Amino acid sequence: MQMRKTVGVLGICGVLAGCGALQVTPAAVPADSEGQTRPQSRPDGVQTEVQRPPSTARTADEFDTTSSEQRAVAAAAAPESAERALGSTIVSLGNAAQPGFWLETPLVTTPGSGRVVYPETGKSVQVDLIPVADGGSRLSLPAMRLIGVPLTGLAEVEVFSAG
């Protein structure tokens, strides 16, 4: 009887571990072969190629496939006169396998461009704003790294919409 319970618990743990790896979002990058790139619209209108992380990625450096040029574009200051404050939100790390600079948040109802500011560091990043229905906001791995948000915790950020 004890063996059955152990096997049952291990089976449930396996299923739950698999569920944690799945994050389906409205703007999820379509599954394609490893190393494929996909054009992604940036807030400044420039198309950049975003490379998916390899399936063997295990560290933040391996998951963050953005180039130094892409990071520079994302970190560039947006004209404040063209922005509209949306409010503050608590963010956690989003799907690390989804490349690019984005924020999934209930602060928007339609996709668009914007900027996220982390008051702790004073740094900001331009992102694609992706609406979600649930109460949590999730920030991409490259965006978190660029503005200094801790990857393993929750942080409050300010969100602005472009235009």
> Structural domain boundaries of the chain?
40-162
Provide mean pLDDT across the span 66-80. 73
- Which residues in 24-142 belong to E strands, given as ranges? 37-41, 47-51, 83-93, 102-105, 112-118, 123-131, 137-139
40-162: CATH superfamily:
RlpA-like domain (2.40.40.10)
Distance, CA of 44 to chain centre = 18
- The reply to whether the predicted model has a pTM over 0.85 is no
C-alpha gyration radius of the chain: 17
**For the chain, how many residues are written?**
163
In this prediction, residues 18-47 reach a mean pLDDT of 41
- What band does 70 get if pLDDT is binned at 50, 70 and 90? confident
Q: How many CB atoms sit inside 10 A of residue 71's CB?
A: 17
